[in-house]
Every structure is written in C-alpha cells, then in structure tokens.
Structure 1
Amino acid sequence: MNCLIIDDNQIARLTLIQLLALDPTLNLIGECDNATEGYHKILTNPIDLLLLDIEMPGMSGIELVKSLGQNQPMIIFTTAKRDYAVEAFDLRVVDFIVKPVSPARFLQSIEKAKEILTTKKNKVSEVPDEFIFIRDSNTVRRLKLNEILFLEAMGDYVKIAVHEKIYSIHSSLKSVEDKLPNHIFLRVHRSYIINVSKIDTIEGGTLIIDKNLVPVSDAFRAALNKRVQIL
C-alpha cells in the first residue's frame, strides 16, 4: 500500500515514518511539510493512503481533501485537536487519530485502511453507457463498453474478453453484471455475459463471437431470442 505523509511538523513526520516501518506492506512514497506540495504529489503518484495533518500553514488538511474531490486516496487524519473529528468524518476518511500517535492506535487504523482497500480491489466501476474501469494488476484501466465481447466467470475471477486480449478481475459475475448496462449486455449462461452487438452467428446452443464459442443455456435462450429479434 503506497503511503504519503503530509504534516508541517518534522517530529510528527519522523514518528509516522517509524510507525510505517512496523508493517512491511506499507510503502512510503514521500513526505511533505505542506498541503500544496502534497496535492501535487498525490496527482503525480499512485497514492493509496494519505496520513494527513489538519492544521498547517496555507492550505489545511481538510481543504486539501475537499480540493481532491473524487480523486482522493484513503485518508487517515493525524492531528493534535479533537475538535475537527466531526468535520473530518463527514469527508468519509478512514480514521481520525489524535496525536501523539501510538503504535497500537496506528496499526488499528492501518487495518481499517487495508479492509477498505481489499473491498475496492479488483472491483469494476462504471461510467454509464460509455466506459468501465477495471483494476488490471496494479493498473486501473479504462475499457470502452463497445469493445467488450463477453465476460466469463472463472472461479473467484471474471474474464473480460476484448478483441485479441483477455483481462481478469477478482469479482463475481453477478457483481459485474449489476454494473453493466442491460441494453448492451445480456446473460446467456450462468458463467457468461455477452455484448449482444458482438454476436456473429447463433448455431444451436452456441454463439460465435469474434471466433470464440460461447454456450447458451436453456434458461436464457428465450431472453436471447427476444433480444436479437430474428427475422
């Protein structure tokens, strides 16, 4: 998990660096002594977790979070004052730690962040009607919906087939199906969802899509026939 520290107090930063070293899965990307520098580092680096002070000269930690909008990483506020707790949690941060930060309290917050990251990992998010975003290894990749040929359940993974390329994401087929527009995609088998516009031929209980054979189960055959409107 890539971490960034933003705090104007050098001793506080050194403390957090030592605490990060307690967990080998935490990778320190950098440290900043002001929110403006931190803002630019967030935009140019893959940051998963931000350890952020609130009261700093210039831009405050809360102002920084608001400026990031939907692009913000997970955030743990570390501050000397409890007064900001309500406002901080309104920003949907992972946790709010009052300084001095103890190792036990720090690791408790890290576990919360890991749980959130695990939930988000390999999930599909949709931009309606045009694109989906998938996590492919450590890269979030945008796929055009009209490039997707079909999706296939493979155990705990879903295979997404495009022309001459396969992507695999850690998810259930049902979870992915719920995020796809049903005017484009159709389930034809308990293990397959297809892009209807990509069907080349239908031969009995099999579809041919870009030279790939996709089975159609009896339970979904009527829905397929209605959808393709055979003349």
Structure 2
Amino acid sequence: MKTVRVVIVDDEPLARARLRRLLTRVGGDAIDIVAECVDIDELLATAARVELDLLFLDIEMPGGDGFSALARWRGPRPKIVFVTAYPQHGVRAFDVRAIDYLVKPVSAERLRDTLDRASAGASPAVEASETEIAKRLPLKIGQRTHLVQVDRIDLVLAQGNYLEVYADGATYTVRGTLSDFHARLDARAFVRLHRSAVVRIAAIREIEPAGSARFRVALRGGRHVYSGRQFRDRMEALLHGHAPGGLI
C-alpha cells in the first residue's frame, strides 16, 4: 500500500496534536505526516520543498485563510481536506476541489471516511461539475455539516431565530433568518410566499384560494402552507404559469 504523505495546517497546537493522533490511529502505517504548519506562509514554504499527497487545511488563521493559500499555490495541488470550526464555507470548499470538509471536533469515524475517499481517488465532489457543486447547500446540525441537494428542498419555514428546512423527507433545524437563507437559493426556483415561508416552485402540487388575497399551497408529500396577503403578486404569477424569478 502506498504511503500517503500528509501535511497538517492549523494555528492551534492542540488542534494539530489531536488531528495528528487521529490520523495515526485511523491511518496507521499508511499515513506519513511529513510536516505541520501554523500559517499559510509556512505551508507554502513547506510545499516548495516537501512532496505531499494530502493536505489537512484550516480556514481561519492569522495572516490569511486557507483559500488564500490555495490561490497562491504554485504547481500541482495535493488533495485538499478542510478542517475548520466554521461550517458556512462548505460550498466554497468544494468549488476549489476539496475532497472533504470536516467540522471540528473531528471524530475517528468521520476521518476514516475521509481517508477512504482520498485513497479511492477523486471524490464524487471533485468529479461533480461546478453546476452540481453549486446545488449542494451546507447545513450545520450540531457538530456535523450536512450537504443537502438544493433541488430536494421543498419548504423552508421560519420559527423565531431558527429555520426548519424540509428536504427529501428529512427536516433540518438551523439558526438564521429566512431572508439570508433565501438569498443563498436560486430566485428562479424558489419563491417566498409568506414572511415565514419559502417554497421550491417545482414542489408545488396545487394552489387554491383561501380568501382575503391568500392562497393555500399544497406541496408534494402532503405538506401545505398559506401565502401572505402581501405576496399576492407572486401567487398570481404562479397561477398564470410564470416563475416569479428575482422576487425575494
């Protein structure tokens, strides 16, 4: 079995030590940690003199983030795995062809999946087209980040400071505002029908009047939502077969 030459980049000594222990435990003799770096300048200097196959890269670091390190990279890149406490950069990570995105604290089981993906060659995320990558939305649930297919999201409901995202039979509860979440979606495919509801247009099964300029919107799977009076123009556009694109 070919030994994988690994570099760890993180400005926190404890984080580097924990990842080193996990890699040694999970990867065994197949892993050779050839260097540890504390910032991107040290990383780039190391990469110029050391051959490496796999890079575990933090995002937020003094002097520049992990993405700026990749922008300054010279020559062929190794396989990239981001390891960070910040889940919101997931889509951007796959845009730069990362093979995985780990949210701290990383478990041994999750790291094993990453090493399996690295040893298998290009990951599905790397092989996917940029259009496919853009259709995956990172949702932080506890310590995990779920990459949800955007075209499987049917409904997003605002509940106070949280959002309930209904996608492919599952419900994800995330913190945030509906306006910010909607801004991350394609306005041609999703429409806001109420101050607390965004719906994927293709998921709408039936629309019926509910009085007082409101409508009852039935979705596939049996869910329904009522539109708000101030969103009547969007409902009229849907009733006439027009996608109310750009209306947020």
TM-score, scaled to structure 2? 0.51
Instruction: Tell me which residue corresponds to 2:233.
Output: 222
**Residue type matched to 1:167 in 2?**
Y
> Number of paired residues?
166
Give the 3 Å change call, closer, same or farther, for CA 184–92 of structure 1 in structure 2. closer
Cα deviation for residue 213 of structure 1 reads 1.8
CA distance in 1, matches of 2:90, 2:194: 20
User: After the TM superposition, which segments of 4 or more aligned residues of structure 1 sit over 3 Å from their partners?
Assistant: 4-7, 50-56, 61-64, 88-93, 120-129
Instruction: Tell me which residue corresponds to 2:33.
Output: 37
Cα deviation for residue 201 of structure 1 reads 1.1
Identity fraction in percent: 15
CA distance in 2, matches of 1:156, 1:27: 36
Instruction: Tell me which residue corresponds to 2:179.
Output: 174
Give the 3 Å change call, closer, same or farther, for CA 63–169 of structure 1 in structure 2. farther
178, 190, 212: which one aligns with 2:223: 212
| RMSD of Structure 2 on Structure 1 (CA) | 4.5
54, 57, 61: which one aligns with 1:72: 57
CA distance in 2, matches of 1:123, 1:206: 36
Instruction: Tell me which residue corresponds to 2:46.
Output: 60
Q: Is there any run of 5+ residues in structure 1 with no aligned partner, and where?
A: 8-15, 42-49, 78-87, 94-115
Q: Could you report, residue by residue, the CA deviation over 1:8-54 in whole angstroms, capped at 9, with x for unpaired residues?
A: xxxxxxxx75xx49xxxx9833269xxx7268x9xxxxxxxx74596
160, 185, 188: which one aligns with 1:183: 188
150, 157, 169: which one aligns with 1:152: 157
Cα deviation for residue 147 of structure 1 reads 1.1
Matches within 5 A, 1:76-155: 76=61, 88-89=63-64, 117=85, 120-121=86-87, 125=91, 130-155=135-160
**Residue type matched to 2:33 in 1?**
E
Cα deviation for residue 143 of structure 1 reads 1.8
CA distance in 2, matches of 1:75, 1:62: 22
**Residue type matched to 1:220 in 2?**
F
Instruction: Tell me which residue corresponds to 1:197.
Output: 202
Q: Could you report, residue by residue, the CA deviation over 1:82-106 in whole angstroms, capped at 9, with x for unpaired residues?
A: xxxxxx548678xxxxxxxxxxxxx
Give the 3 Å change call, closer, same or farther, for CA 197–61 of structure 1 in structure 2. same
CA distance in 1, matches of 2:236, 2:175: 31
For residue 174 of structure 1, give the secondary structure of its aligned residue in structure 2: helix
CA distance in 2, matches of 1:157, 1:123: 19
Q: Is there any run of 5+ residues in structure 2 with no aligned partner, and where?
A: 1-6, 24-31, 69-83, 93-129, 210-214, 243-248
Contact 1:152 1:159 in 2 (8 A): yes
TM-score, scaled to structure 1? 0.54
For residue 179 of structure 2, give the secondary structure of its aligned residue in structure 1: helix
Cα deviation for residue 132 of structure 1 reads 1.8
CA distance in 1, matches of 2:34, 2:180: 35
Contact 1:151 1:161 in 2 (8 A): yes
Contact 1:188 1:216 in 2 (8 A): yes
Contact 2:157 2:178 in 1 (8 A): yes
**Residue type matched to 1:37 in 2?**
I
For residue 208 of structure 1, give the secondary structure of its aligned residue in structure 2: strand
Contact 1:133 1:142 in 2 (8 A): yes
Q: Could you report, residue by residue, the CA deviation over 1:158-214 in whole angstroms, capped at 9, with x for unpaired residues?
A: 111024210111111111111100110000000000001111111222111121121
Give the 3 Å change call, closer, same or farther, for CA 196–75 of structure 1 in structure 2. closer
